[in-house]
Amino acid sequence: MATSTHAAPALPGPLQRSQGIAIRRGIVLVLMTLVVPGSAQVAAGDKRIGRIALRVWLTLLALLVVVGLLAVFARPFLISLYANPITLRVLQVGVLVLGVAWAALMVDAWRIANPRAMSGPGRVVSGVLALALALGAGTAAWAASGMFGAQSSLVTNVFTGGGEAEATHGRYNILLMGGDAGADRWGMRPDTMIVASIDAETGRTVLFSLPRNLQWAPFPQDNPLHAKYPKGFWCKSQECLLNAVYTLAMDNKDLFPDVKYPGAEATADVVGEILGLDINYWAMVDLKGFESLINAVGGIRLDINKRIPIGSKSGPKGVYGYIEPGKNVKLDGFHALWFARSREGSNDYERMARQKCVINAMVQQLNPTTVLTKFNDIAAASEKVVATNIPSDQLGTAVDLALKGRSLPMSSVNFTPPLIKPVKPNFTKIREIVADKIAASEAKDRPEQASPAAEPSQQPSDQPTTSESPASPSPTKSSSGSSTQTEDLDEVCAVSD
């Protein structure tokens, strides 16, 4: 009877086993370096270099823990420290050096594994892995270094300082101005003037919009132009409008020695006097360049209730398009700018409301992921678009309040007819409205501190008044008026999620 025999499988030869061990060793050493830089050198290479790399790695981990604690318990300080140009330059160089060193350690880990002991395919596989990880580390370091460089340039060139860092009555008041600048970027009349009054504790914000055609604008007594217009900015030609204060100051630069932006500073003084608020900072935005900033953040989304023309009947192209109404409409820079500025079929007061819609959308929809992934584009656009007197050491406070306030609804007041008459504004009435609206906003977070306040009267006075300090708010009867005057901003235009 025949019996079948089965041959035992042949064991790998010594050379094959040795090559397999070498490949696994090489891959493990490279991955060890990826997770803990220097560990491969301590285990199988130059222990001195490995110990240095491990100390650096542990120091970085400890710094990350400290940063995490500061982010929880001292976020404004952390942001201000980070936004310091010296810090950003150190990070720009440091991250590049660390990235190159990390890449070199990965290549060295592959060398330590002795590629000559590997098979041909093993050398290729382990070598490609080491090279890919080294290139990845170097590329990430290069990108991070570029981001820190862009941030440093932005902070140095835009946040030049000069504003008032102390909150007044628990609030920061920031004047936002926008207009088209042309070749001389900041030599313009601002068409948009909005004050964001921000609660210094909660970040809850009230927006106050002033029309560009407001007359009799009062200069505070400490402003050099007060002597020229002691009773307010007015002239028979009716060219002495609020937005012309900027040009007036630029034409009288000799009255503002050592002031880089006299037009912005004078406008901030006048707007603060009108509203009865101390303006901490101002920011000037070139609306034409605003397109690039909107594009850099990937556009905005709005619920639009009215068809908005692109162009104008009196322009060279006429009306050549429309922004159609709808829910969750995505606007790129071009269309967002036209949504904010279009005049055809509307007036300045409607435009004021639309401009605040765009601001609200940017605040709510600009998330950390967008900032990190598109920061270089955002920074480059911002340098061309924005000038401000916010100092870099106050960015921590500003960003912290923005993060707090972004989840809270904004309130809004447009000083438009019939609420006021731009030709003969009642400044006492304006200040009463401002005080009432701020009191109502603060009562939402601190009801126990609230004093009775009601909606302001909508009947304008026939004569301008220029009292030096804001009048105390007094209860007044509300009446119907424009839907863009005094209300929650979300009622004017809904920002899409």
For residue range 376-396, list pLDDT tens digits in order.
Answer: 676 676 666 778 898 888 888
At 39, is the pLDDT very low, low, confident or very high (cuts 50, 70, 90)? very high
| Nearest to 434, CA basis, from 166, 83, 168 | 168
What is the domain range of residue 266? 171-495
Residue 314 backbone dihedrals phi, psi, to 5 degrees: -90, -5
- Whether 302 and 424 map to the same domain: the answer is yes
User: 494 pLDDT band (50/70/90 cuts)?
Assistant: low
347 lies in some domain: yes
**pLDDT digit string, tens, across residues 79-104:** 889 888 899 999 999 999 999 999 99
Residue 440 pLDDT exceeds 50: yes
Q: Report CA 1 to chain centroid distance, whole Å.
A: 91
Distances in Å between the alpha carbon of 328 and those of 324, 339, 461?
11, 14, 41
Which residue shows structure tokens 């804001």?
470
Let me know whether 204 and 283 are in one domain: yes
More confident residue, 440 or 417: 440
Shared domain for 194 and 310, answered yes or no, is yes
Tokens of 4: 């079948």
Task: Tell the residue number behind the tokens 């010594």, with chain if given.
Answer: 14
> Token pair of 151, please?
């941030």
pLDDT in tens, 8-27: 555 555 666 677 777 888 89
Residue 81 shares a structural domain with residue 38: yes
Contacts of 416 (CB under 8 A, 6+ apart): 209, 211, 348, 349, 352, 422, 482, 484, 485
| Residue 9 included in any domain | no
Domain end among 158, 191, 222: 158
95: part of which helix (H) or strand (E)?
helix 85-112
What is the rounded average pLDDT for all residues in the chain? 82
Tell me what pLDDT residue 489 has: 52
- Do 215 and 125 belong to one domain? no
| Same domain (yes/no): 389, 463 | yes
Residue 254's pLDDT band (cuts 50, 70, 90): very high
Residue type at 484 in one-letter notation: T
- Residue 174, token pair as written in the block: 């920031």
pLDDT grade, residue 50 (50/70/90)?
A: very high
Confidence of residue 235 (pLDDT cuts 50, 70, 90): confident
Whether a cis peptide bond, with omega within 30° of 0, leads into 418 is yes
pLDDT in tens, 132-168: 999 999 999 999 999 899 888 888 888 888 888 899 9
The larger pLDDT score, comparing residue 447 to residue 321, is at 321
As a whole number, mean pLDDT of residues 242-246 equals 92
> Which of 115, 137, 158 delimits the end of a domain?
158
Q: Is residue 10 part of a domain?
A: no
Given 158, 182, 209, the domain boundary residue is 158
**Contacts for 121-125 with beta carbons within 8 Å, 24 or more apart?**
122/19, 122/20, 122/22, 122/23, 122/26, 125/23, 125/27
**Candidate from 72-86, 119-133, 280-294, 361-375 with smallest mean pLDDT:** 361-375
Q: Are residue 35 and residue 111 in the same domain, yes or no?
A: yes
Q: Which letter does DSSP use for residue 172 in this model?
A: E
Same domain, 110 and 232: no
Which amino acid, one-letter code, is at 80?
A: S
Q: Which of 82-86, 300-304, 319-323, 362-366 has the lowest mean pLDDT?
A: 362-366
Statement: residue 433 has pLDDT above 60: yes
Is 373 among the domain residues?
yes
Among 88-92, 113-117, 283-287, 407-411, the range scoring the smallest mean pLDDT is: 283-287
Asked whether residue 422 is domain-assigned, the answer is: yes
Is 320 in the same domain as 184?
yes
Whether residue 93 lies inside any domain: the answer is yes
Question: Which tops the pLDDT comparison, 264 or 18?
Answer: 264
Question: 163 in a domain, yes or no?
Answer: no
Question: Pairing mode, if any, of strands 494-495 and 486-488?
Answer: unpaired
Same domain, yes or no: 483 and 404: yes
Q: Which two three-digit tokens encode residue 255?
A: 């009255």
For residue 371, what pLDDT is reported? 60
Q: Is the pLDDT of residue 55 over 50?
A: yes
Residue 374 lies in a domain: yes
Least confident segment among 34-38, 329-333, 358-362, 399-403:
358-362
What is the structure's pLDDT at 227? 93
Residue 169: other Cβ atoms inside 10 A: 11
* Total count of domains within the chain: 2
SS3 23: helix
Whole-angstrom distance, CA of residue 119 vs CA of residue 13 = 13
What tokens appear for 306 in the block?
A: 């009215």
The reported pLDDT for the residue numbered 79 is 86
Q: Measured between alpha carbons, how far is 73 from 79 in angstroms, rounded to an integer?
A: 12
- Cβ 323 vs Cβ 329: under 8 Å: yes
- Are 269 and 363 contained in the same domain? yes
pLDDT score, position 108: 94
Separation between Cα atoms, residue 175 and residue 245, nearest integer Å: 14
Buried b (16+ CB within 10 A) or exposed e, 123-144: beebbebbeebbeebbeebeeb
In a shared domain, residues 316 and 367? yes
Confidence of residue 368 (pLDDT cuts 50, 70, 90): low
Distance between CA atoms of residues 231 and 463, nearest Å: 13
Q: Give yes or no for residue 339 having a pLDDT over 70.
A: yes
Q: How far apart are CA 95 and CA 149, in angstroms?
A: 11
* DSSP 8-state assignment for residue 487: E
**Who has greater pLDDT, 404 or 134?**
134
- Kindly state the percentage of the chain with pLDDT values over 90: 41
Give the pLDDT mean for 27-51: 93
Beta bridge partners of 198: 172, 205
- Does residue 216 come out as left (phi exceeding 0), alpha (psi in the -120 to 50 range) or beta? left
pTM metric for this prediction: 0.72
